[in-house]
A and B are shown apart, each in its own frame.
Chain A
Amino acid sequence: DQQVKQNSPSLSVQEGRISILNCDYTNSMFDYFLWYKKYPAEGPTFLISISSIKDKNEDGRFTVFLNKSAKHLSLHIVPSQPGDSAVYFCAATDSNYQLIWGAGTKLIIKP
C-alpha cells in the first residue's frame, strides 16, 4: 500500500507559467516532507522541504505548501523554465530518517 502518492505520472506546462505538482500521503505520523528533482541518467537532487509545523516554505521560484488536514502537499514552480523539465519525487518521513517516496511526476516545460 503506497503511503505517498503522486497521482499524475506526467504534467505539461507552458514556459513562463506556473507548474503545480501534487502529492498525497496516508500516514499521519509523517512530519517532514521533501521534494527531489531528477534528470535522466542522474541521481535525484534535493530541491525543497517542509516540516509539519509549517504550511508553506519558499525558496526562490519554488514553494511547497502543506495541508495537514487533507494530507496533501504541492510544489509550485513560478515561472516555469525549460531547465525545470525533469521527474519530481515527493518523499516523506516520520523522523526515523527513512524516506518514503512517491512514484514521481514527469514535468515537461513547453517553449
Chain B
Amino acid sequence: DVKVTQSSRYLVKRTGEKVFLECVQDMDHENMFWYRQDPGLGLRLIYFSYDVKMKEKGDIPEGYSVSREKKERFSLILESASTNQTSMYLCASSKGVKIEQYFGPGTRLTVT
C-alpha cells in the first residue's frame, strides 16, 4: 500500500526560525513534490524533484529550499520563517511517468 509520511502534523514556530519539514515515501517513487495549501488558492507547487540530488523550482519557491539526499526522503526548509508562511504543507510522490500523485497527511505550520 502506498505510504507517504510527514514528520509532524502540527508545528508552531517563531518568526525568523529555521524550519525543517521532512517527507518520506516507501514506494520507491522517483518524483517528489512539496505544495502549500491555502484557502481559496488550492495547492501551489513550491519545489519538486525527479531524482536524488535533483530539484526544480515550482510556482512559489521564494523563502524555501529543499534537499533530496536519498530517493525516499524529500525535505522542505524554511530558512527564516515568516508569518506569511503559515499554511498547510503537503508532500506528494509519484512513480516514473505516472501522473497520479500520492499525498502525505500534511503539516499544519503556524508561524507567530
Q: How many positions in chain B have a CB within 8 Å of any CB in the partner chain? A: 26
Main secondary structure of the interface of A (DSSP, over half): loop
Contact of A29 with B by CB under 8 A: no
Q: Is A46 within 8 A of B105, CB to CB?
A: no
Contact A99 B40 (CB under 8 A): no
Residues of B contacting A41 with CB < 8 Å? 9, 105-106, 108
Which B residues touch A99, using CB under 8 A?
A: 43, 45, 99, 101
Decide if A42 is an interface residue (CB 8 Å cutoff). Answer: yes
Which residue of A32, A46, A49, A101 contacts B42 across the interface (Cβ within 8 Å)? A101
Do B102 and A46 have beta carbons less than 8 Å apart? yes
A-contact 0/1 string along B61-77, CB 8 Å cutoff: 00000000000000000
CB pair A89–B104 under 8 Å, yes or no, is no
Is the CB–CB distance between A43 and B92 below 8 Å? yes
Known A-B contacts A49-B99, A97-B94; the reply to A43 vs B40 at CB < 8 A is: no
Q: How many of chain A's residues have a CB under 8 angstroms from any CB in B?
A: 23
Partner of B103, one of A45, A93, A95: A45
| B42/A102 in contact, CB under 8 A | yes
Tell me which residues from 1 to 46 in chain B have a Cβ below 8 Å from any Cβ of chain A. Answer: 4, 9, 31, 40-45
Q: In the bound complex, do residue B105 and residue A42 qualify as a contact, i.e. CB atoms below 8 Å apart? A: yes
When A43-B90, A43-B105, A104-B42 are in contact, do A49 and B100 touch as well, CB less than 8 Å?
Answer: yes
What 10 A-B pairs come out closest when comparing CB atoms?
A43-B103, A101-B42, A101-B43, A103-B42, A46-B100, A44-B103, A43-B104, A43-B105, A43-B106, A102-B42
